[in-house]
Amino acid sequence: MDFPLALSALQKGIALLLFTGVAAPLIGLLLRRVGGGWETMGGGPFAILDQRPPRGGSGGVPAPVDPAIQAAEVRQMLEAKSERRRQRGEAPLDVEAEAERLLAAAGQPRGEEAMDAELRAEVRQLVVARNERRLREGREPLDVEAEVERQLADLIGSP
């Protein structure tokens, strides 16, 4: 077989078409399958990729804060502040009074007060439902407020 040193224009065109039509797509697919490392770059057992906040702001309303968690964090912050004041030789803070003041300023009911209000509302809903059932049965309704107080006394154990 005789190999010419130079290719003709037709042979160059065929080689170019073969390369761009067959070899280049195959190389691209190979690199895509093998080259998926950019997505995992920096990964591993000590990676912080999953700990990053999501990109872009949510633009929505922030999630509501649990009052118990907020009260605990306020108390922790005030205890640390009081300890720093004590170490400097200043008078320590009254943590409970300051926490009450800050939580009241935030407009959040205290933990037990919030729980009591929620419990009272739930018991009241049950009493109202019981009254509706009694009315359907043809019986006389209960005094809602008196029954709520009686139920709470039974649940809590104090009058």
pLDDT the model gives residue 52: 59
Domain ranges of the chain: 67-108, 110-159
pLDDT band at 78 (very low <50, low <70, confident <90, very high): very high
Helix, coil or strand: residue 126: helix
Stronger pLDDT, 35 or 10, i.e. the higher one: 10
Helix, coil or strand: residue 107: coil
Strands (E), 11-137: none
Stronger pLDDT, 114 or 48, i.e. the higher one: 48
Q: Please check the confidence at residue 70 and state whether its pLDDT lies above 70.
A: yes
| Contact indicator for 106, 73 with CB cutoff of 8 Å | no
In the chain, % of residues over pLDDT 90:
21
User: Who's near 26: CB < 8 A, 6+ residues apart?
Assistant: none
